[in-house]
Amino acid sequence: MGATMATATAQRIRTINGSGFFNCITLRYYYGGMLNEPIELDGLVIRNRMWLPPMCQYQAEDGIPNDWHLVHYGARAAGGFGLLIIESTAVTPDGRISPNDVGLWNDEQAAAWQPITAFIHKMGAKCAVQLAHAGRKAGVYPAVQSEKKGPIPGWDRVSPGTEPFANFPAPRALTTEEIAEIPALFAAAAVRAVTAGFDAVEIHAAHGYLLHSFVSPLTNTREDRYGERSLLLREVCTAVKAAVDVPVLVRVSASDFCEGGLQIEDTVELAKQLRDCGVSLIDVSGGGLTPFKSWDAIEGEFPGFASRIGKVLPVASVGGILNPAQGERMLREGIDAALIGRAALWDASWPMRAGVTPPPSYAQGVRDQR
């Protein structure tokens, strides 16, 4: 790139307005390199490093995905994302964040995912599914408008102990025997995930849900063998790896952002243990175990955490990314993939802003914007 063009390009990047809308011709030439590079995870080749993180849609009944999920995820696959990590998907009915969550605790749910994963693949993207148990943050009330206005009977919030989250009812402490059964629940859901057409699975160990509550010293004060805080998560990862031959990702809260909670140093050590369990990548987030005032106040910390964890294992990270320049900067700081969250909710074709070639049906519209 000549000096004059480089200076002009840099000036255009600096003066882009706050909406995050970029001139894609410029970015294709100047920024397209790392965001558009493919990446391989244990044999799974992903076309670029712009990934969709798991974000609950709260649109399911009985854990079964439907047309909403086909349209939502299909649009983002067509829009150019490399890997779509499907929203929190419960491994057991009472492990849902809300009654509107999707699940993989039965074969009917797995079958309903098949046309969705098939369309994602047709668009050239890959898909992982986040397997989860909400623990003490399980929600018995619908998260969105529903004919079912009241709580779903029979739900049993569980946790390492009896300390509630915020103003939630107190959970029941799991017995040692019950905890020992949890890895098999995740493994069975992982098998269904592969049957459903998913290319990878992600274990949700962040945001204050069950596995995170075992990892954190704030919530795990047990005196049995599961007082070893990483043990359950390691058992889950080992069971899933033994059950399926696909990459296993783990989402972690790198810090609890409070005194006495997890710190980044703890999470770096945890990453070393997960590497030994065969985990392919760490998906870095944070917080969620205790209430906090503003997500915006903490998410700027995540890329720095990810850079440190990335010395142990490949990493993907959120970080309030609104425009391609932010994502490119994260990759240049040692992060392997940029997770585009809220920006992808208002723009399903966000990767086209970074120079991704559109499908033929969209080409004229993209050319008009460029």
CA dist., res. 196 & res. 121, Å (int):
12
Neighbouring-strand partners of residue 41: 44
The answer to whether position 118 is within a domain reads yes
Token pair for residue 283?
């998906």
* Cβ neighbour number for residue 67 with a 10 Å cutoff: 11
> Is 70 exceeded by the pLDDT of residue 9?
no
Is residue 93 in some structural domain? yes
The Cα 345–Cα 325 span in angstroms is 18
Q: Is the confidence at residue 116, as pLDDT, over 70?
A: yes
pTM assigned to the model: 0.89
Comparing CA positions, the residue from 162, 164, 78, 176 lying closest to residue 125 is 78
Q: What is the 3-state secondary structure (H, E, C) of 151-162?
A: CCCCCCCEECCC
Q: CATH code at 81?
A: 3.20.20.70
- pLDDT, mean of residues 197-219: 98
pLDDT (mean) for 130-148: 79
Cβ–Cβ < 8 Å for 82, 122: no
- What was the pLDDT predicted at 282? 99
Q: Domain for residue 14, yes or no?
A: no
The pairing of beta strand 39-41 with beta strand 44-46: antiparallel
Share of the chain above pLDDT 70, in %: 85
Name the more confident of 302 and 366. 302
**Lowest-pLDDT choice from 23-27, 148-152, 235-239, 333-337:** 23-27
Asked whether residue 36 carries a pLDDT value surpassing 50, the answer given is yes
Q: Is the per-residue pLDDT at 13 higher than 80?
A: no
Residue 18 has pLDDT above 60, yes or no: no
| pLDDT averaged over every residue in the chain | 88
Range of weakest confidence among 21-25, 101-105, 242-246, 295-299: 21-25
Q: Which structure tokens are listed for 370? A: 């460029």
Closest by Cα among 77, 83, 96 to 143: 96
pLDDT tens digit sequence for 241-291: 999 999 999 999 999 999 999 999 999 999 999 999 999 999 999 999 988
Banded pLDDT at 45 (limits 50, 70, 90): very high
Say if residue 350's pLDDT is above 50: yes
- Residue 187 belongs to a domain: yes
Distance CA 21, CA 346 (A): 12
* Residue 9 resides in a domain: no
**Structural domain tally of the chain?**
1
Q: Which two structure tokens, joined as six digits, stand for 54?
A: 């798991």
Is 240 contained in some domain?
yes
pLDDT band at 166 (very low <50, low <70, confident <90, very high): confident
29 occurs within a structural domain: no
Judging by beta carbons within 10 Å of its beta carbon (0-12, 13-18, 19+), is residue 7 exposed, middle or buried?
Answer: exposed
So what's the pLDDT on residue 306?
95
Greater confidence (321 vs 293) lies with 321
Give residue 59's pLDDT. 95
Supply the pLDDT for residue 148.
55
Q: Please pick, among 29, 209, 226, 362, the residue that the annotation labels catalytic.
A: 209
Residue with tokens 């007082």: 227
How long a stretch of residues is the chain?
370
Q: Please state, as a whole number, how many other Cβ atoms lie within 10 Å of the Cβ of residue 311.
A: 11
22 in a structural domain: no
pLDDT over threshold 50, residue 174: yes
209 has catalytic annotation: yes
CB contact set of 147 (below 8 Å; sequence gap of 6+) = none
Q: Provide the domain limits for residue 320.
A: 39-353
- 218 in Cβ contact with 290 (< 8 Å): yes
Other residues' Cβ atoms within 10 Å of the Cβ of residue 229: 20
Q: Give 7's DSSP letter.
A: H
pLDDT surpasses 50 at 17: no
Which residues, 6+ apart, have CB-to-CB distance to 252 below 8 Å? 205, 206, 212, 215, 267, 270, 271, 282, 283, 284, 285, 309
Confidence grade of residue 5 (pLDDT, cut at 50, 70, 90): very low
Q: Chain-centre distance of CA 346, in angstroms?
A: 18
| Structure tokens, 306 | 């990810």
